[in-house]
């Protein structure tokens, strides 16, 4: 998993996206699912009306990798354990970001 603050291009995307969240839970068709990431357009930043949901497989190019430390590693260990338990289904991206 890329750390928060990383900047990527998505496949078929034309703008840079900054990662702002990992493993967000979202309700889609009355089912709680997760994506790997949420992000926003870079350099504009967060616009709650334009949150971009995407998964690892949607990333084309990593432009910049954000900060990592032991807190990040601990967090990922806990969250990835929960994901591996299968409590939530992984969502698929149905349309590319701008």
Q: Give 33-36 contacts, CB < 8 A, sequence gap 24+.
A: 33/88, 33/89, 33/90, 33/91, 34/83, 34/88, 34/89, 34/90, 34/91, 35/90, 35/91, 35/93, 36/1, 36/90
C-alpha neighbours within 13 Å on the C-beta side of residue 80: 7
Q: What is the mean pLDDT of residues 12-36?
A: 92
Residue 80 is encoded by which pair of tokens?
């990835």
What is the model's pTM?
0.87
Q: Is residue 78 part of a domain?
A: yes
Q: Is residue 37 part of a domain?
A: yes
Domain count of the chain? 1
Q: Is residue 1 part of a domain?
A: no
Lowest mean pLDDT among 23-27, 29-33, 91-95: 91-95
Does pLDDT of 96 surpass 60?
A: no
Q: Is residue 55 part of a domain?
A: yes
If one compares 80 and 69, the residue with the highest pLDDT of the two is 69
Strands 37-41 and 52-54: antiparallel
Q: What is the pLDDT of residues 32-69, one digit of tens each?
A: 899 999 999 999 999 988 899 999 999 999 999 999 99
Q: Is residue 69 part of a domain?
A: yes
Q: Is residue 71 part of a domain?
A: yes
Q: Is residue 42 part of a domain?
A: yes
Phi, psi for 55 (deg, rounded to 5): -120, 170
Q: Is residue 98 part of a domain?
A: no
Does pLDDT of 4 surpass 60?
A: yes
Which structural domain, as residue segments, surrounds residue 62? 7-90
């Amino acid at each position: 998993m890329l750390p928060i603050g990383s900047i990527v291009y998505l496949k078929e995307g034309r703008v840079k996206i900054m990662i702002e969240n990992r493993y967000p839970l979202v309700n889609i068709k009355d089912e709680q699912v997760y994506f790997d990431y949420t992000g926003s357009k870079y350099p504009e930043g967060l616009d709650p009306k334009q949150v971009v949901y995407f998964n690892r497989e949607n990333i084309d190019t990593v432009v910049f990798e954000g900060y990592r430390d032991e807190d990040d590693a601990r967090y990922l260990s806990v969250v990835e354990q929960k994901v591996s338990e299968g409590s939530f289904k992984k969502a698929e991206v149905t349309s590319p970001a701008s």
